[in-house]
C-alpha cells in the first residue's frame, strides 16, 4: 500500500462543519514543514474539498504515474532553510471546473476514499495529515476501516479534534469523540478554533462564539487540550488573496512585537496580493497564529513520540 513509507498518520476530525478543520490542517502542515518534517496532506472531503484553495494550488492537476497518482507539490524541501517538503492530494484536483458538484452516494465515496489511501504515491513522509468532512458517516467509516486493516500498528498516531467554543458546535464534536473511542482511534488532543476575536481598532477581545467550550469538553473526555486559536483576519487574507500578514504597530504575540514598521493593513493588502504558492510557508512565518501552531505542533510531535 502506498502508505507504507509514511511514518505517522494524523486525522483532523470534527463532527461540526465550518469550525476550521481545513485551516487547522493547513497550519499544522505548514508548521510541521517549517520544523523540517516532510508532510503530506490528504483531503477526503469529497463534496467540499478546501485544501486546494487553502494552499493556493487550485489550478494544479494530479499526474498519473506507473502505480498510482502523484500528489501535488505545495513546496519542495529546502535543507538549508530547514523546511520539509509539503505535498497535497484532493478530489479538487480531479475536477474539470471548480464549481462542479460531486454528487455521490456513500458507496462511491467509500471507493474514492479507499483509492486515495491505496493509490497515491506519497513516497517517504514523516507525517500524513488527513483532512475530513464533517460528520460520522461514509468517509469516516471507510477511513477507519481501511486504516485499521492496512496500517502498521502505531502508524495511525491518532486524531486531532477541532471545535469552536459554542455549545452548538461542541454538541456535534462530542459525537466525534465518541466515534473515535468506538472505532479505537486514539485522540491526540482538542484544538479550540475561533476562540475570540481581537478588534484591530481598539484591541478589545470579543468572544464571538462564546468561550472555553473546547477546554471544558477536553476535560470531560479526559483528552489533551492542545490550545485555543483566536480568529485572525490576517490569516484569512493570507489564504484568500496570498497577502503577507501585517499587523498594526504594537501588536504583541507572546511578548514579541510582530508588527511591520509603520505598515498599515491597507498598504499590505495593496502591495502583496500576488499569488505565490511557493512562498506560502514563508508568509505564514509572519502570521500571529504561527507561534501558537508552532507550540501545538511541538506538543503533537512530543505526544506521538
Partner 1 sequence: MAPSLEEPEPVADVIENPLKSKPQLVAPEPEHCPGPEDPDPDIPLISARLSGIKHKILVLSGKGGVGKSTFTSMLGHAFAMREENNVGIMDTDICGPSIPKMMGVEAETIHVSGTGWSPVWVTDNLGVMSIQFMLPNRDDAVIWRGPKKNGLIKQFLKDVEWGDLDFLLVDTPPGTSDEHLSVNSFLKESGIDGAVMVTTPQEVALLDVRKEIDFCRKAGIKVLGLVENMSGFVCPNCTHKSQIFRATTGGGAALAKEMGIPFLGEVPLDPGLDVHATTARVSLSRSPTVRPVRHSRRLFVAWQNK
Of 2, 27, 38, 50, the residue at the interface with partner 1 (CB under 8 A) is: 50
C-alpha span between 23 and 255 (Å, rounded): 25
Of 65, 105, 262, 305, the residue at the interface with partner 1 (CB under 8 A) is: 105
Restricting to residues 111-150, name those near partner 1 by CB under 8 A: 111-112, 115, 133-138, 140-141, 144-145, 148
Restricting to residues 228-247, name those near partner 1 by CB under 8 A: 231, 233, 236-237, 239-241
Does 180 appear as a known binding residue? no
Backbone angles phi, psi at 158, to 5 degrees: 140, -165
Q: In angstroms, what is the minimal distance from the CB of 78 to partner 1?
A: 27
Restricting to residues 16-45, name those near partner 1 by CB under 8 A: 16-19, 22
Restricting to residues 246-305, name those near partner 1 by CB under 8 A: none
Complex with partner 1: residue 28 or 300, whichever CB lies closer = 28
User: Are 122 and 5 spatial neighbours (Cβ–Cβ below 8 Å)?
Assistant: yes
Complex with partner 1: residue 89 or 160, whichever CB lies closer = 89
Q: In angstroms, what is the minimal distance from the CB of 101 to partner 1?
A: 4
The alpha-carbon radius of gyration of the chain (Å, integer) is: 19
Complex with partner 1: residue 203 or 252, whichever CB lies closer = 203
Q: Tell me which stretch binds partner 1 (CB under 8 A): 73-81, 101-109, 256-264, 291-299.
A: 101-109
Does 88 appear as a known binding residue? no
Could you tell me the CA-to-CA distances from 112 to 102, 115, 117, 185 in Å, in that order? 12, 5, 9, 21
Is 295 exposed, middle or buried, given 0-12, 13-18 or 19+ CB atoms closer than 10 A?
A: middle
Does 199 appear as a known binding residue? yes
Does 20 appear as a known binding residue? yes
Complex with partner 1: residue 78 or 178, whichever CB lies closer = 178
Residue 96 burial (CB count, 10 A): 6
Is 74 exposed, middle or buried, given 0-12, 13-18 or 19+ CB atoms closer than 10 A?
A: buried
Number of residues that bind partner 1 (CB under 8 A): 76
C-alpha span between 14 and 189 (Å, rounded): 12
Tally helices (H) and strands (E) across the chain: 10, 14
Restricting to residues 194-223, name those near partner 1 by CB under 8 A: 197, 199-202, 204, 206-210
Residue 103 burial (CB count, 10 A): 7
Element (H, E) at 73: strand 72-75
Amino acid at each position: 500500500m502506498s502508505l507504507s513509507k509514511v511514518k505517522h498518520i494524523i486525522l483532523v476530525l470534527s463532527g461540526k462543519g465550518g469550525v476550521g478543520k481545513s485551516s487547522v490542517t493547513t497550519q499544522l502542515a505548514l508548521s510541521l514543514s517549517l520544523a523540517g518534517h516532510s508532510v503530506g496532506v490528504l483531503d477526503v472531503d469529497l463534496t467540499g474539498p478546501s485544501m486546494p484553495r487553502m494552499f493556493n494550488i487550485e489550478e494544479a492537476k494530479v499526474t498519473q504515474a506507473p502505480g498510482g497518482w502523484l500528489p501535488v507539490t505545495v513546496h519542495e524541501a529546502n535543507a538549508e532553510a530547514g523546511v520539509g517538503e509539503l505535498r497535497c492530494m484532493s478530489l479538487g484536483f480531479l475536477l474539470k471546473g471548480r464549481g462542479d458538484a460531486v454528487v455521490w452516494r456513500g458507496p462511491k465515496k467509500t471507493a474514492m476514499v479507499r483509492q486515495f489511501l491505496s493509490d497515491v504515491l506519497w513516497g517517504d513522509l514523516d507525517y500524513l495529515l488527513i483532512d475530513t468532512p464533517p460528520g460520522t458517516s461514509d468517509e469516516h467509516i471507510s477511513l477507519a476501516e481501511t486504516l485499521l486493516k492496512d496500517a502498521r500498528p502505531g502508524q495511525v498516531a491518532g486524531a486531532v479534534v477541532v471545535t469552536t467554543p459554542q455549545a452548538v458546535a461542541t454538541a456535534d464534536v462530542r459525537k466525534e469523540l465518541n466515534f473515535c473511542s468506538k472505532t479505537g482511534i486514539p485522540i491526540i488532543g482538542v484544538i479550540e478554533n475561533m476562540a475570540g476575536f481581537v478588534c484591530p481598532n481598539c484591541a478589545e477581545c470579543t468572544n464571538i462564539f462564546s468561550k472555553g467550550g473546547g477546554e471544558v469538553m477536553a476535560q470531560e473526555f479526559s483528552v489533551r487540550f492542545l490550545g485555543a486559536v483566536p480568529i485572525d483576519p490576517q490569516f484569512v487574507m493570507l489564504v484568500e488573496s496570498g497577502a503577507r500578514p501585517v499587523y498594526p504597530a504594537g501588536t504583541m504575540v507572546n511578548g514579541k512585537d510582530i508588527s511591520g514598521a509603520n505598515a498599515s493593513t491597507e498598504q499590505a493588502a495593496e502591495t502583496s496580493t500576488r499569488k505565490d504558492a511557493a512562498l506560502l510557508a514563508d508568509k505564514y512565518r509572519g502570521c500571529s497564529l504561527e507561534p501558537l501552531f508552532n507550540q501545538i505542533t511541538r506538543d503533537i510531535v512530543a505526544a506521538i513520540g
